Chains A and B, each alone.
Chain A
Amino acid sequence: MTGQERLVTGPSTLVAASGVQKSYGDVPVLQQVDFEIAPGITGLLGSNGTGKTTLLGMILGLHPIDGGTLLVYGQDPWHAGTEVRMLTGYAPEHHTLPPELRADEFVRHVAELHGLPGEEATTRASDALWLVGLGEERFRPMGTMSTGQRQRVKLAQAIVHDPHLILLDEPTDGLDPVQRDSMLDLIKHISTDFGINVLLSSHLLDEVERICDGVVIIGEGRTLASGSLDELRGSGDTGVTIELDAAPEAVASLGDTFARLGYSAQVSGRRVMVEGDDDSVFDIARDVCAEADLGILRLGRRRLSLEDVFLERLG
């Protein structure tokens, strides 16, 4: 069995970190990082400067870890870096790419660097650029492209060699809201339709929440939370969320009503979140709204947003 076959047919956990530490000189960047990344799209969340890019570099085997264990496809990336990188795509954060180089030449070159034979690299470069929406623009020098187009070129070069996992470092950086939505849809499409696993580094909670299956949240040099998005949000499954068909002013008084009944409630616009440990809170919520003569648009189990999880874990 070749190294590549071994890696491809490895365990279902793509990346596993346990107690990973990393410092630059005397400055600790990562102190206790533990997570497992399963197939699908995983968001790597953290504020700027929390060590996300460093962690991506370690996953690629470009920096050694100072402590703990890091396995990618079941291998230590520092020692099996070449094999790991052969099966991994990477789109860097920075936008500077060789300005006079044409997009198709660049993507083709990256395909060859990952071991694709010349003719196959040419065909796949073209296909990858079509896939990311740059089919008509593929012969343009990258220096003449907009930030959005360059982000797409970076995505195309990351997937051109059919990697097992792609690492995308802030792929929506510099994009306007429309371009951002389009890029996120594209990433989702690449993962679901072509089975390419994605590790998406971002500091934007909503974009991770929108397309990711799992998340790793890093802060203060350690893992604040990790797991599937459903698991993390489900952990705060205590109570109900009510969305009302009423003016926010009318809804505002409900907070006091719930408090009188012994329930903690948060009012936000036309939405009320009521905490409660059992299903009786559904009946209480229904009765309170009926008494206040407010129409219910939606009544459901309360789900934490990723922001709630992030803030809760940050303490």
Chain B
Amino acid sequence: MEPLTPQTATAATLPGVDEARIYDRGYRRYDGDRTGIAGAQRSLVRHSLRHALGLGRATRYKVIPVLVVLMAYVPATVFVGAAALIPINTEDFLPNYAEYYGFVAATIYLLAGFVSPELLCSDRRTGLLGVYLAAPLTRPTYLIGKAIAVLLLLLLVTLGPPLLMLIAFSLQNMGPDGFVEWIEVFGQIIVSSLVLGVMYTALSLAVAATTDRITVATATTMALIPGSGIITDIMTTEAGIDPNVRLANLLFLPRALIFRIHDVSGGWSSVENPTWTLWLAWAAWTLGSIAWVWYRYRRLLVRR
């Protein structure tokens, strides 16, 4: 066989040549399929998730969201580890699924406080909102995409840890008895995480829709949720005002509902407010926040 030199090399003699392809490079017309609004919204959600988690951005943007998410999993990991390592009946000292949120409440509203302003305020400040609305997205489809992104991020901390506990306990034979009970607990976890996630998504978006300043929106969200708890607690316990004032306690309201969903006695479920009033207040806060976001965006003059 003739030795391979630049002069003798041909397509047939070069190794692996049948896989070689020449790609035509350069801008050209496009007549392929288009994914429509659904594709635009998927892209918006994906881009928002990456932005909020600091992916593709400098390290400083990743620190807070990643730390907050990890913090939410620490208690769950400790409880699962304890259950595996300590040879006693762990049910006596481990928190149940409803109580778990008490350990991670701060991380939930911390994340809501960081994520929503980062996604809404920065779009308005950088002019990206104008680009989005000049694309096939409309204001409602844009806001829905943003809300989905915030909710998905909040589900990382509201749904992930209890689900991790359920799966780990089940693998250790410490989970619910039987398939039906397992599905029931699974359903309770899903609904609970949505109760928390949806309400805090709506609230944090409402704050973020009110100001263009990211830090102001973040601080307001983080102050609003525990602040409402402190004020209403003082009003009900110290001043003896009607217990329904507790329905304005943004820390208490979703967690009291979660205790009712899991049918757990004690703790937050022992308050005298009927369950329907809790659901009503939850819906009022959520829908009120959504209405405020829409009101703000409907009349927003977009810079172009």
Question: When A and B form their complex, what is the total count of cross-chain residue pairs whose Cβ atoms lie within 8 Å?
Answer: 109
- Judge if B163 is at the interface, Cβ distance under 8 Å: no
Which residues of the partner chain A approach B207 to less than 8 Å between Cβ atoms? none
A14 CB within 8 Å of chain B: no
Q: Quote the shortest CB–CB distance from B35 to chain A (angstroms).
A: 5
Decide yes or no whether A213 CB sits under 8 A from chain B: no
Pick the contact of B39 from A56, A102, A112, A127 — CB < 8 Å? A112
Interface string of A105-127 (1 = CB under 8 A from B): 10001101111110010001001
A92 nearest CB across to chain B (Å): 5
Q: Is A295 positioned at the interface, with any CB of B under 8 Å from its CB? A: no
Nearest neighbor of A94 in chain B, beta-carbon distance: B127
- In the assembled complex, the CB of A194 is this many whole angstroms from the nearest CB of chain B, namely 7
Give complex CA distance A29, B175 in Å: 68
Which residues, 33 to 87 on B, are CB-close (under 8 Å) to A? 33-37, 39-40, 42-44, 47, 56-58, 61
27 residue pairs of the A-B complex, CB under 8 angstroms, read: A56-B304, A60-B134, A62-B134, A62-B302, A82-B37, A86-B34, A96-B126, A96-B127, A97-B128, A98-B126, A100-B61, A102-B56, A105-B56, A110-B131, A113-B137, A114-B34, A114-B40, A114-B136, A115-B34, A116-B34, A117-B39, A120-B30, A124-B30, A127-B26, A127-B27, A130-B25, A195-B29
Task: Using A92-B127, A105-B56 as known contacts, say yes or no to A194 and B29 having CB atoms under 8 A apart.
Answer: yes
**Is the C-beta of B135 less than 8 angstroms from some C-beta in chain A?**
yes
A216 → B minimal CB distance (Å): 18
Q: Chain A contacts of B35 at CB under 8 A?
A: 112, 115-117
Contact A131 B27 (CB under 8 A): yes
Q: Which residues of A contact B127 (CB under 8 A)?
A: 92, 94, 96-97
**A56-B304, A127-B25 given. 9 additional CB < 8 A pairs?**
A96-B125, A101-B56, A109-B47, A113-B132, A113-B136, A114-B34, A115-B136, A128-B27, A131-B26
- Whether A115 touches B47, Cβ cut-off 8 Å, given contacts A110-B135, A159-B27, A162-B29, is no
What interface size band does chain B fall in? 35 or more
Q: How far is the CA of A115 from the CA of B41 in the complex (A)?
A: 10
A98 to B56, CA, bound (A): 13
Check B270 for interface membership: any CB of A closer than 8 A: no
The yes or no answer to B303 lying at the interface (CB within 8 A) is yes
Asked if B56 and A116 make an inter-chain contact with CB atoms under 8 angstroms apart, the answer reads no
Please tell me if the beta carbons of A194 and B304 are within 8 angstroms of each other in the complex.
Answer: no
- B28 within 8 Å of A (CB atoms): yes
Is A227 at the interface (CB under 8 A from chain B)?
no
Whether A98 lies near B122 (C-beta < 8 A) is yes
Q: By the criterion CB–CB under 8 Å, are A161 and B30 in contact?
A: yes
Report the separation of the CA atoms of residues A112 and B122 in the bound assembly, to the nearest whole angstrom. Answer: 20
The distance in angstroms between the C-alpha atoms of A67 and B133, with both chains bound, is 23
Q: Is the CB of B58 within 8 A of A100?
A: yes
Query: Is residue A34 within 8 Å, beta carbon to beta carbon, of the partner chain?
Result: no
Residues 233-281 of B contacting A (Cβ, < 8 Å): none
Q: How far is the CA of A62 from the CA of B300 in the complex (A)?
A: 12
List chain A residues, Cβ under 8 A from B122: 98
List of B residues within 8 angstroms of A116 by Cβ: 30, 32, 34-35, 39
B43 touches A113 (CB 8 A): yes
Docked pose: A282 CA to B40 CA in angstroms: 62
Chain B: CB-nearest residue to A112: B43
Distance, CA A85 to CA B34, complexed state (A) = 13
Query: A53 in the interface, Cβ–Cβ < 8 Å?
Result: yes
